[in-house]
Structure 1
Amino acid sequence: MFDPTDLYRLDGDLPELSDPVLLYHLEGFVDAGGAGKLALGHLLAELEHRIVATFDVDRLLDYRSRRPVMTFDGDHWVDYDAPELVVCLTHDMTGTPFLIMMGPEPDREWELFTEAVGMLATRLKVGKLVSVHGIPMGVPHTRPLGLTAHGSRPELVTGPPSPFGKVQVPGNIEALIEFRMGAKGHDALGYAIHVPHYLAQAEYPQAAVAALEAITRGTGLVFPMDSLRDAADKTTAEIEEQISASAELSGAIQGLEQQYDAFQSGAERENLLAESTPMPTGDELAAQFEAFLAERDDRDN
């Protein structure tokens, strides 16, 4: 029998905590707009933190399916970007301690990894586990971002009702953690931020803002948001610049706005993933925005 505790090592003495929240995002599944990565990455960039646990990625990852980056300089190797999956301890703006788990989604040993997360959460006396990621939706960026909340108990789920019924989707480790932890009586919830489908492949800071705002409502944690909101405002301005220069894009966004407004008013109850009016696909819109962003990067460089 494999021991789940063999999958991680503790870094230093464990802190004395009382019902901390554990926020987690593991890269590998859908994360439209980089919502989860940007949100938790922002917190680690803004808040002082220390690693309290490190997982054994050599056991968990298939390096050949997503090869780490190495740097070659002239005639020798100078760097290796080793993947890390860690749990960090930090504090919010009020001094409340909480935990962040980030890194690549494991390729193997999902059940053992989930058991290890549960054992680590018990040792750290975690009171609530919260995941966040982005999903692409047929919505315009000119309207407030929606979200789908889900949890291990109905009482944990707040906000507007989900636009989805009962569906089957590809499995992912974030969902499995919520499912397994909930079955053992732990409070676990998650937020899927609805990101405009044409921005799904780009970094969209507004999605990270929506994610952290949702986490604040669900946990009471207070985060530094100024720099992230500034980045969101800058991105929105750049998107508007691109749209104003293209009649095709402007018409497509107007079509999405009409569809969204009709859905919100109850005039039609189509899934927002559908496109009821002729317009460019999400891939076509995304390609135009990516071309614009590439041109912007060339100008900046």
Structure 2
Amino acid sequence: MTQERLVHIVDEIPELEGATDLTMVLVLDGFLDAGNAAAHAARHLADLDSGRGSSGPVVATFDVDSFHDYRARRPAMSFVRDHYEAYDAPRLVVRLLHDSGGTPYLLLHGPEPDNRWEAFARAVREVLDRLGVTRVVAMGSVPMAVPHTRPLAITPHANRPELLLGTSPWRGELRIPSSAQSMLEVRLGEWGHDMLGFVAHIPHYLAQLDYPQAAAVLLEQVELAGRLTIDLTELHELAREREGEIDRYLEANAEVGEVVAALEQQYDAFERAEESGVNLLAPDEPLPTGEEIGRQFEQFLAGLDDGSSDPSDSGREA
């Protein structure tokens, strides 16, 4: 009986020969990615490598047919007049990239496996062992009841306390839905492989919007954890543009600005309570729900996503 091959790894990679400190960045699409922060960060890494004249060669390919539920997440394709073409086949791969100083590192990206998570974890372990990966650094983001006008918070996590670069804002135990990415961290820890990661807290009223500020903050953490140097100039510029769009919309829509102001008060009250150690709960003040803010921002998001209008136009048309 032949052993099932779930990942195919390039046998010889000259650039990795003799490497003693190799980071693999991990981003799986489909979960924990409010504001498309992690996906945007992964695209930025790949684009940077392409901009330096390299295509980011694939050094490992996972058998996506073994992990993907095509009926749950149907890949897009094109129908051109009288025939089908341009099928966007899902790919789960590891690419060899280089940071700004020429240091090699790996990027594992693609759709989160829909099934066979344990088999996927074993396949990732094979990649780490074969390529000599020192550490895995993951990225993610979740919607939170926080205003975009305050510093973007990060939840660090790791399978060894010594790997943590910051203090978690959470106390006690949280029961949350699992993911292939989080389960992988547990399994790699059991197998003696270091894995850490960072989850950005995205304002829930912007969770459906591409939010480059969060991508930049995540990559700043990846730089520290992975001992890499990453050019974030383009992301910072995109973040400034997006902040400007949001600010213009708020100026033209006073009712939405009031909702954000309420979040700011809630956030500041929580911060004061944290500093004093008296009470972690904010004063008895109603917190706008995600649905309330979502309704206020529905026209705003639609205008930005299709690029058909200036966000401030909605206020003039009302």
Calculate the TM-score normalised by the size of structure 1: 0.92
Deviation at 1:246, TM superposition (A): 1.4
Report what 1:283 is aligned to: 291
CA deviations 1:119-174 (Å, max 9, x no partner) are 11111110000111101111110011001101011111122332242112111011
Q: CA deviation at 1:286?
A: 3.0
Q: Which runs of no fewer than 5 residues in structure 1 stay unpaired?
A: none
Q: Specify the alignment match of 1:78 in structure 2.
A: 85
Taking a change above 3 Å as real, the CA distance of residues 279 and 260 of structure 1, as seen in their structure-2 partners, is closer
CA shift at 1:199, angstroms?
0.8
Question: Residues 111-126 of structure 1: matches in 2 within 5 Å?
Answer: 111-126=118-133
The answer for the alignment partner of 1:108 in structure 2 is: 115
Amino acid at match of 2:29: E
Unmatched tracts of structure 2, length 5 or more: 311-318
Matches of 1:284 and 1:2, distance apart in 2: 56
Counterpart-to-counterpart distance in 1, 2:213 and 2:97: 23
**82-91 vs 278-287, greater mean Cα deviation:** 278-287
* Count of aligned residue pairs for this structure pair: 296
Q: Tell me, in whole angstroms, the C-alpha distance in 1 between the residues paired with 2:103 and 2:281.
A: 42
Structure 1 stretch 226-235 or stretch 9-18: which is displaced more? 9-18
| Aligned with 2:23 (options 9, 21, 33) | 21
Q: Which amino acid is the alignment partner of residue 270 of structure 1?
A: L
- For residue 277 of structure 1, report the CA deviation from its aligned partner: 2.9
Normalising by structure 2, what TM-score?
0.88
1:31 paired residue number: 33
Q: Structure 2: how far apart are the matches of 1:130 and 1:93?
A: 18
Give the 3-state SS of the residue equivalent to 1:80 in structure 2. Answer: coil
Name which one, 1 or 2, has greater alpha-carbon Rg. 2
Letter in 1 for 2:309: R
2:292 & 2:192 partners in 1: Cα distance?
45
1:1-301 mapped onto 2 (5 Å cutoff)? 3=3, 6-11=5-10, 13-14=12-13, 15-16=16-17, 17-47=19-49, 48=54, 49-266=56-273, 268-270=279-281, 277-296=285-304, 297-299=307-309
Distance 1:188 1:290 in 2: 38
Computed over aligned residues only, the root mean square deviation of the Cα atoms, in angstroms, reads 1.9
SS at match of 1:298: coil
Q: What fraction of aligned residue pairs are identical, expressed as a percent?
A: 43
CA distance in 1, matches of 2:2, 2:34: 35
CA deviations 1:179-218 (Å, max 9, x no partner) are 1001111111010111111111111111101100111122
C-alpha spacing 1:164/1:195, structure 2 compared with 1 (3 Å) = farther
Q: Which has the higher contact order (CA 8 A, sep 6+)?
A: 1
Give SS of 1:102's match: strand
Paired with 1:152 and 1:231, the residues of 2 have a C-alpha distance of 33
